[in-house]
Structure 1
Amino acid sequence: MKQKNYNSYTVGQIVAGNFDAAKVFSRYRIDFCCHGHIPFAEACRNRNLDPEAVARELNELQENANGNAPDFPGWLIDLLIDYVLKIHHRGIRAKGPQTEALLAKVTEVHAKNHPELLQVQTLFRDSLRDLENHLSKEENVLFPYIYGMFQAKEEGVKVAKFHCGTILHPIKVMEDEHSHEGERFERISSLTNGFTAPEDACASFRLALQQLKQFEEALHEHIHLENNIIFPKALELEKEQTA
């Protein structure tokens, strides 16, 4: 198979084209969601990585691909939003409180020897609070309008302009909030040594870190889908509707 040159792509575009690439980027803590607009080589250098070495891993991944990764870019925008709502919004609301409760118990027991848990607990609690506000804005303002634009296109009619002129404004707010969450979880990862359990960690401590890592991974997919696929599709749809 011909080796792909990634230097003309952003990290977000690479993951959009092959979601399995997220595994490589996540391992190296390359942010493909909040900073998906960054060119591949630059993103590698920002992590003190050799772009050619990372590219080899991506090409090996492509060669060994089994075709199980979802073709998110090929999905219609209404299906993408359905997926985000039913998988990610539901997941945050279901798994977030469970992880928060477990983290509270672990912090109560282990904070004396691991004071960083107090910061992690606060960061995660604040994240759930801010995410709930974020999800509500998507569900009540942005997504209904995008659904409306899609339906109007399907029916061959025009939709009324967004109440503040263009969806670019709420999208920018959503992207800014995504960036803030990405930075918050980067801090949580740093405090927990990449969600690595210390030697004296009990089973609950290890489980809490595992759940935090899974929450972050799901959040990364959520942000990637919106920033790199849904929002660009929505802006293009708006352009067609207002042409």
Structure 2
Amino acid sequence: MKDYQSMTVGEIVADNFDNAAIFDKYGIDFCCHGSDSLPEASRKAGANMDEVIKDIESKTSGTPESIDFKSWPIDLLVDYILKIHHRNIRSHGPEILKLLEKVCNVHGEHHPELFEVRELFQSSLYDLGNHLDKEELVLFPYIYDMFKTQEEHKQLPDFHCGSVEAPISVMMAEHDAEGERYRHIDMLTHGYSTPKDACNSYRLVLEKLKAFEAALHQHIHLENNIVFPRAIQLEEKLRG
């Protein structure tokens, strides 16, 4: 059995992404605060660490292994993030916002919190758009360059940001901001639960918002806990 008490929550989810659902159950933030140890994260969430470990071990022994992202080469991880997560945000985000505006028009009078949810989500899409652009135009091309340099045993080209840690620190700060924003949305919607007078569109938009947040959590987790640390290690190796 693994010594989960000595692992960070990010490492535990990187080991098996199915553990993300267990952490969500206990309110443990594994993406933006993935560097927290399990004891520290459990304390912050007010969760019983022994119960958390029991659930992890039970799930691990009773279900097949999920995708082992940490075994993937870094260029494949970036490909996955671009083609799955970036596309998801750009395609599904505007659709959700349009549906949310419709629900605000119908239910906003009796559920004024919907207007704040809409403003938060609209701001998120704007900020995420800028965030994705920076990853696609600055950070990820350099990661691809580093991977190619390693594969072809060439000299690492100069990077206009100096070190990969510079854009990574910006990306992680923006991840933290999004994590806080969606915690606020979760609070406003009472965990994405629908009121008794909710129509089908109301239920649907909360389901879509919840799925969008879950996908964003995986996006942040893959970057914060797998891609970014490996990019830093790769740069250090290539620079000697």
User: TM-score, normalization: structure 2?
Assistant: 0.98
- Cα distance in 1 for partners of 2:155, 2:191 equals 48
Match of 2:33 in 1: 35
Determine which of 138, 142, 162 is the counterpart of 2:139. Answer: 142
Question: How many angstroms does 1:28 deviate by?
Answer: 2.2
Match of 1:237 in 2: 234
Match of 2:8 in 1: 10
Deviations 1:137-174 (A, max 9, x none): 00000000100010010001111232122010100000
In structure 1, the residue corresponding to 2:89 is in which secondary structure? helix
Conserved? CA contact 2:10–2:34, under 8 Å: yes
- Cα distance in 2 for partners of 1:158, 1:230 equals 21
Task: Output aligned runs, 1:187-198, within 5 Å.
Answer: 187-198=184-195
Conserved? CA contact 2:4–2:53, under 8 Å: yes
Conserved? CA contact 2:20–2:30, under 8 Å: yes
Determine which of 111, 123, 131 is the counterpart of 2:108. Answer: 111
Match of 2:64 in 1: 66
- Cα distance in 2 for partners of 1:151, 1:210 equals 40
- The aligned amino acid for 2:11 is Q
Task: Output aligned runs, 1:43-192, within 5 Å.
Answer: 43-67=41-65, 69-192=66-189
Conserved? CA contact 2:5–2:39, under 8 Å: yes
Conserved? CA contact 1:107–1:117, under 8 Å: yes
Moved over 3 A (4+): none
- Cα distance in 2 for partners of 1:22, 1:81 equals 20
- The aligned amino acid for 2:7 is Y
Question: How many angstroms does 1:241 deviate by?
Answer: 1.1
- Cα distance in 2 for partners of 1:44, 1:144 equals 37
Give unmatched runs, 5+ long, in structure 1.
none
Task: Output aligned runs, 1:196-235, within 5 Å.
Answer: 196-235=193-232
- The aligned amino acid for 1:158 is Q
Match of 1:19 in 2: 17
- Cα distance in 2 for partners of 1:47, 1:18 equals 21
Q: CA RMSD in A?
A: 0.8
- Cα distance in 1 for partners of 2:131, 2:215 equals 16
In structure 2, the residue corresponding to 1:105 is in which secondary structure? helix
Conserved? CA contact 1:24–1:58, under 8 Å: yes
- Cα distance in 2 for partners of 1:63, 1:187 equals 34
- Cα distance in 2 for partners of 1:170, 1:139 equals 12
- Cα distance in 1 for partners of 2:231, 2:133 equals 18
- The aligned amino acid for 1:95 is H
- Cα distance in 1 for partners of 2:181, 2:161 equals 30
- The aligned amino acid for 1:132 is G
- The aligned amino acid for 1:85 is L
Deviations 1:56-95 (A, max 9, x none): 000001101212x111000000000000000000000010
